[in-house]
Each structure stands twice: as structure tokens, then as C-alpha cells.
């Protein structure tokens, strides 16, 4: 069910009314009911996957929590008797890891089968044909709504319990709300149990400020999606569908516009999710922090899909780098290589692994793997070259505060990000490489004219709206980048100005979005993940 459908608005209104009317202790039930209804409307038969993830991680959590308490009691008893606790800790740790591994393997196994089995069979079939083999039977499994998001979210709960960060949930229905919370399940942000569960326990009921602020954020997200992203999609679709008919400059422009589409679609959806959640009094994590104002690719990934980056950093990067085996491996590298390479290379290798997994998270096809490798190689290379780069800047007497250096870093990062978009948007890796070749081999500068850009599916009026809307989002981002809170500033303004701003955005959504000529509504891009 889309956030912009009448069915969703009816569900939202009903669940808000229930939350406002019910006693505080049972308000969470209204959210759970809304979450189940929301998911069932997307495909009731797919509820089995959500139920499986919920039940398996809940039970694993109970087992791990029980082992945590037994370990603590046994260790305390051993200390009181003057005995060593190392063997006790080791024995319980093995049992806990076994319980966690069972739940994680089940859920990530289901995710892998649904997302990657078909691409894997395709690769096997391709290799088989090279050697004269037979065709491999192919089948496509239905991908449950938001499976990547709720799998990662429930996995973080299990790992946190393994690390004894908090006690396990004792109420499976309250835990089910954490896994299935409907504003975030389709495209995130990826939540943490210790941040969301206390909020579900203390839903405030009717709060005029929370309702107003939530509506403001949701409407802003709708503006980015309907007015900007859906317009940008027209250009991106045309360029990627027939790139061989365009010169390199037009292709690069189309890919850049796709970047605008992706950002406004994804961040717009997240703004809507956070705004809807805020209406209930539940604050979701920030997932975007002005990524197109990043000054390096690593900085970009700290700002883009923040909760995925945090998940990878906490549960993959740190898990590897703090492991004993990796510690021994790092020591060998430092000993054998010496110098900066010996210090940086171990961390750079783990970074490379993380970005490979991020590419794989997007999908199992070779284009997504290439996308992960593209980012991993550049960021790894940047880490290795940080010291020589700083030395060159010092020799040239270029200050870190130089505006020209800042502008160069912005443009360099934007170009690297845009080149990465060739991989994520093209139908396959071969087409992505073909587009890259066409971009640089045949730029077509001499044939450029205003009509070249107006032949991409949008007329002059819509091009102007797209440019103006993008400028509004950029200006808002620059304002916030300077440590200003735009929403707080609007809330401090006089009521007349607040109403005028909201009315302007709503009118833009209605007349420049829903009711514009030829408008065809589209689903959010990340709903497919």
C-alpha cells in the first residue's frame, strides 16, 4: 500500500484516532493492528515471512537472554568461591552464539534465497552454456515487502542481545510491533530495539505540536517525491532506455537527473515515514543528512542511508576488526609491510568488504556487485592515499578552509557518485559499461542545443519546475548544513507565515504533482528492496 493512496490515508486516520482515544497502556496495540493491516494489504500470503522473522528472532532472544542471566549468576557464584570464570564465560558464549547463528542463518538464508537465487541460477546457466551444458530451470519467488529492512532490524536485536546491550522482550506482540512498524517497514530507516521499544511503551496520545511537525515533514517528503522525483524519472527512463541515441553529455545529464530522482524519491519517502511516525509521537532515526553536500565518497556514505551505514559499521566492520583472527592478521600485515600501508591496509580491506556487501544488499546481479566494488575501491584507495594527498596540499600551501578546495571536493564527489549511478540504474552491467563508454567516447558537445534537453520527455514548463524544485531542496540543505534547523525556524515563525509555507507546499504537490498533465504515479524505488 502506497503512502499516497486513499487506503493508506484512511488507515492512518483510523490508527491515529485509536492512539489518541485509547488508554496509554494499550495504545501500542493500535499501531500493531495498523502494521498488520498495512502489510496484509500488500499481500496477505507474504505475512508468513514477516511472522517467521518475528518468531525466530524473538525465540532466539529469549534463549540468549536466559543464557546471559545464567552466565552472570554462574560467574558471580564462581567469584564468590574464588574460582576462575573464564571457562564459564566461554561455555555460555558458545551456546549464545549457536542460538544467534540459528536465527541469523534462517533469516538471512530466506533473504538470500528470495533475492539472489534467480541471479545465481542465471550465472550457473551462463557458465553451463559456455561448456555446452543444459539449460537451468529458472523460477522467480515473490519478494516480500520490506524484507531487507525487517531482516536487518530483527538481526540487530539478536546481535545486541548477544552483546548483552539490553534484556530481551518478554511480549511477542510488542516485539512484533518493533519488527513490523508500518511507517518504516517499506523503505526504512532501519531501527534499533533500544530506541524504538521505549517509545512504543510511552505513546503520548494527542499532541498538537507532534501532529503539526509530523504533517510538515510528511508533506515536505511528498513534495520531493511527487513534484521532483516523478518528473526526474521521465528523463532518466528515456536516457537509460535508449542511451545509444544520445551523446555523452546528454547521457551524463540523464544519469545526474537520475541521482536527483533517487535522492528525492528515497529521502522523500523517509521524510514521509518519519513524519507519519512523528504524528504518533515516535521519532525514527535520521537517514539522510544532505549527501550531495559531501566532500568525499566516504563522507557521502556517512550522509546517505545513514542507518544502513551504521548497521554495516556496527555489525560487520567492528565485528571483523575487533575479532581475534583479524587482530592476528593485522599484526602480520603491519610487521611485513611496515609504514603507513601496514597500518591502513587492514582497515581498508574491511571497508572494501563492507561496500561489497552494500552492493550485494541492493541486489544479486553483477551490476550491484560492480556498484559495491566501485565505491569500495575508491574509498579504500582514498584511505591509502590520505597522507600523500595531505603532503601535496601542504607543499602547495592549500588551506583546508579554502573555498576553492571545498568546491573542488564537492564537484569531485558529485562526479564519483554520478558515475556510480550508471551501475545501479542500468538494466545490467553490460549496458552500464556501454553507457560509460558512450559518455566519454562520444560526448556530442557540438550537437548540443536547448532542444537536445527538451527531447528527453519533459517540456520547458516541467523542466523549469524540476529545476526550481531541485533548487528549493538544495537551498534548504545548504541552510541546514550551516547548523541551522529549518523546521525549528519555521515553527518559530509567526502562525501566518507557517500557514503560508504549508499552503504553498500543499498547492505545489496538488497542482504541480497530482494534477499536472500526463502525470502517472509511481511507487517508491526502495519499496523493491
Closest CA to 102 of 68, 64, 69: 64
Distances (CA, A) of 444 to 239, 248, 253, 449: 14, 6, 12, 11
**Would the pLDDT of 139 be above 70?**
no
Which grid coordinates belong to 112?
538470500
- Decide which of 268 and 122 is more confident: 268
Which grid coordinates belong to 323?
575479532
Angle, to 10 degrees, between the axis of helix 403-425 and the axis of helix 248-280?
90
pLDDT band at 381 (very low <50, low <70, confident <90, very high): confident
Which pLDDT does position 520 carry in this prediction? 64
Which pLDDT does position 44 carry in this prediction? 76
> For residues 275 and 15, what is the distance between their CA atoms, to the nearest angstrom?
15
Q: What is the pLDDT of residues 476-512, one digit of tens each?
A: 999 999 888 888 888 888 888 888 988 998 898 888 8
pLDDT band at 522 (very low <50, low <70, confident <90, very high): low
**Would the pLDDT of 17 be above 70?**
yes
Mean residue pLDDT across the chain: 87
Neighbours of 279 (CB within 10 A): 23
- Maximal CA-CA distance, the chain: 86
The values of phi and psi at residue 284, to 5°, are -90, 160
pLDDT band at 332 (very low <50, low <70, confident <90, very high): confident
**Would the pLDDT of 217 be above 80?**
yes
> Is 189 in contact with 309 (CB distance < 8 Å)?
no
- Decide which of 401 and 267 is more confident: 267
**Would the pLDDT of 136 be above 70?**
no
Q: Which of 21-25, 72-76, 243-247, 433-437 has the lowest mean pLDDT?
A: 72-76
| Structural Rg of the chain based on CA atoms | 25
Residue 467, C-beta contacts closer than 8 angstroms, at least 6 positions apart: none
Which pLDDT does position 113 carry in this prediction? 86
Q: Is 165 left (phi over 0), alpha (psi -120 to 50) or beta?
A: alpha
- Decide which of 441 and 199 is more confident: 199
Neighbours of 425 (CB within 10 A): 23
> Is 419 in contact with 436 (CB distance < 8 Å)?
yes
pLDDT band at 1 (very low <50, low <70, confident <90, very high): low
> For residues 270 and 287, what is the distance between their CA atoms, to the nearest angstrom?
7
Amino acid at each position: 500500500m502506497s503512502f499516497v493512496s486513499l487506503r493508506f490515508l484512511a488507515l492512518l486516520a483510523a490508527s491515529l484516532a485509536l492512539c489518541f482515544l485509547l488508554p496509554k497502556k494499550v495504545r501500542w496495540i493500535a499501531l500493531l493492528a495498523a502494521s498488520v493491516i498495512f502489510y496484509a494489504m500488500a499481500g496477505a500470503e507474504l505475512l508468513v515471512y514477516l511472522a517467521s522473522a518475528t518468531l525466530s528472532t524473538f525465540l532466539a532472544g529469549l534463549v540468549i537472554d536466559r543464557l546471559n542471566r545464567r552466565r552472570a549468576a554462574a560467574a558471580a557464584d564462581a567469584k564468590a568461591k574464588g574460582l576462575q570464570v573464564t571457562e564459564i564465560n566461554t561455555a555460555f558464549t558458545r551456546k549464545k552464539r549457536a542460538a544467534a547463528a540459528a536465527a541469523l542463518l534462517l533469516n538471512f538464508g530466506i533473504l538470500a534465497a528470495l533475492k539472489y537465487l534467480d541471479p545465481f541460477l542465471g550465472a550457473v546457466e551462463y557458465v553451463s552454456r559456455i561448456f555446452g551444458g543444459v539449460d537451468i530451470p529458472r523460477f522467480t519467488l515473490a519478494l516480500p515487502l520490506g524484507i531487507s529492512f525487517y531482516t536487518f532490524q530483527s538481526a540487530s536485536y539478536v546481535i545486541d542481545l548477544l552483546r548483552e546491550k539490553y534484556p530481551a522482550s518478554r511480549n511477542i506482540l510488542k516485539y512484533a510491533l518493533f519488527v513490523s512498524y508500518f511507517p518504516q517497514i517499506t523503505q526504512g530507516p532501519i531501527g534499533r530495539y533500544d530506541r524504538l521499544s521505549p517509545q512504543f511503551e510511552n505513546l503520548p496520545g494527542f499532541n498538537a505540536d507532534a501532529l503539526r511537525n509530523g504533517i510538515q515533514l510528511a508533506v515536505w517528503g511528498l513534495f520531493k517525491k511527487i513534484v521532483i522525483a516523478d518528473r526526474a524519472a521521465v528523463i532518466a527512463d528515456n536516457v537509460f532506455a535508449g542511451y545509444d541515441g544520445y551523446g555523452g553529455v546528454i547521457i551524463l545529464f540523464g544519469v545526474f537527473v537520475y541521482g536527483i530522482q533517487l535522492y528525492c524519491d528515497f529521502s522523500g519517502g523517509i521524510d514521509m515515514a518519519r513524519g507519519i511516525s512523528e504524528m504518533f509521537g515516535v521519532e525514527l532515526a535520521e537517514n539522510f543528512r544532505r549527501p550531495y553536500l559531501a566532500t568525499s565518497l566516504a563522507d557521502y556514505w556517512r550522509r546517505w542511508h545513514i542507518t544502513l551505514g551504521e548497521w554495516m559499521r556496527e555489525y560487520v566492520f567492528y565485528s571483523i576488526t575487533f575479532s581475534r583472527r583479524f587482530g592476528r592478521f593485522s599484526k602480520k600485515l603491519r610487521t611485513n609491510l611496515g609504514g603507513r600501508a601496514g597500518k591502513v591496509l587492514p582497515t581498508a580491506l574491511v571497508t572494501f568488504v563492507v561496500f561489497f556487501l552494500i552492493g550485494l544488499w541492493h541486489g544479486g546481479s553483477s551490476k550491484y556487485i560492480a556498484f559495491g566494488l566501485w565505491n569500495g575501491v575508491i574509498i579504500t584507495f582514498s584511505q591509502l592515499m590520505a597522507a600523500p594527498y595531505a603532503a601535496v596540499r601542504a607543499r602547495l600551501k592549500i588551506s583546508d578552509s579554502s573555498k576553492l578546495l571545498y568546491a573542488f571536493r564537492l564537484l569531485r564527489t558529485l562526479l564519483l557518485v554520478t558515475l556510480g549511478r550508471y551501475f545501479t540504474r542500468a538494466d545490467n552491467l553490460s549496458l552500464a559499461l556501454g553507457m560509460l563508454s558512450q559518455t566519454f567516447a562520444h560526448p556530442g558537445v557540438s550537437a548540443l542545443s536547448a532542444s537536445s534537453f527538451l527531447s528527453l520527455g519533459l517540456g520547458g514548463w516541467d523542466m523549469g519546475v524540476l529545476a526550481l524544485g531541485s533548487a528549493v531542496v538544495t537551498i534548504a540543505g545548504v541552510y541546514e548544513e550551516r547548523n541551522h534547523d529549518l523546521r525549528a525556524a519555521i515553527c518559530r515563525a509567526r502562525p501566518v507565515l507557517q500557514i503560508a509555507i504549508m499552503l504553498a507546499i500543499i498547492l505545489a504537490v496538488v497542482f504541480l504533482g497530482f494534477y499536472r498533465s500526463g502525470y502517472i504515479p509511481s511507487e517508491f524505488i526502495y519499496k523493491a528492496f
